[in-house]
Amino acid sequence: MRTHGIRRLIAAGIVSLALSTNTNAQNSFWGGDDHTPSLAIVPTEIQLDVPMPVGDMQLMLALASNGGGLADLKQDAIRNYTQHIHSEMARVLYEYLDDEEVPLVAENGLLQLQNNLNLKVIKHLSAMKPRGDHDLEQGTVTLQGEFRYILSNRSGTALREQRITIGDMNINEKYQVRTYHDNRASEDSTEAAIKQALTEMVEELVEAMEDNLEADELRDMAAL
């Protein structure tokens, strides 16, 4: 699997990824000998809701002293997870397209891929246990929402479209939080659990799109 081009795209960030071209696409609008049509990818539009971050009392106090609060913490978390989704979508999607040798172009591709994600991350508390010098919170992270993508031609006519219900994926990741009684910093695996759930979601979404992103399928679409 050729990953050198993917690493270069990921390093440039999701926006530059979507606007970058690989060497084949730069040399030929159509790409390789089998004339796979060029594809322009619009960065994913994301609407995201996440649980309110808790547990870092020192950070919350610092924010309060500077006129901030929990709302600022939540917005930081949303930005963090949104960037994670963009990065993972780029990694998985561009890896697949690289395997299919689909030429990517900055704009005016013969085909265009648009997608949007409306997502809510939910924490489910399963247990709260006192453990000597700390309290232990345990639970799971689940995802709810909808993903939609459209493959269209240069004139804007939709050629393929699909909606995917995120809850049907049944993604569950365990988390735990240790809150110490002596005001030591808590140990919280919630962020790692959420990111793992988001990565799993992205992998399943790209897998669901794969049939319509195969080189043969794109050539058939371009002929319509």
Residues 175 and 126: their CA atoms lie apart, in Å, by 10
Closest CA to 18 of 47, 46, 39, 35: 39
Closest CA to 90 of 214, 179, 206, 190: 206
Give the model confidence (pLDDT) of 192-218 as tens digits. 999 999 999 999 999 999 999 999 999
By residue count, the chain amounts to 224
The mean predicted confidence, pLDDT, of the chain is: 83
Structure tokens at 146: 């909808």
CB-count exposure of residue 76 (10 Å: 0-12, 13-18, 19+)? middle
Backbone angles phi, psi at 116, to 5 degrees: -140, 150
Give the model confidence (pLDDT) of 65-122 as tens digits. 565 567 788 899 999 999 999 999 999 999 999 999 999 988 889 999 999 999 999 9
Residues 150 and 112: their CA atoms lie apart, in Å, by 8
* CB atoms closer than 10 angstroms to residue 2: 10
pTM: 0.81
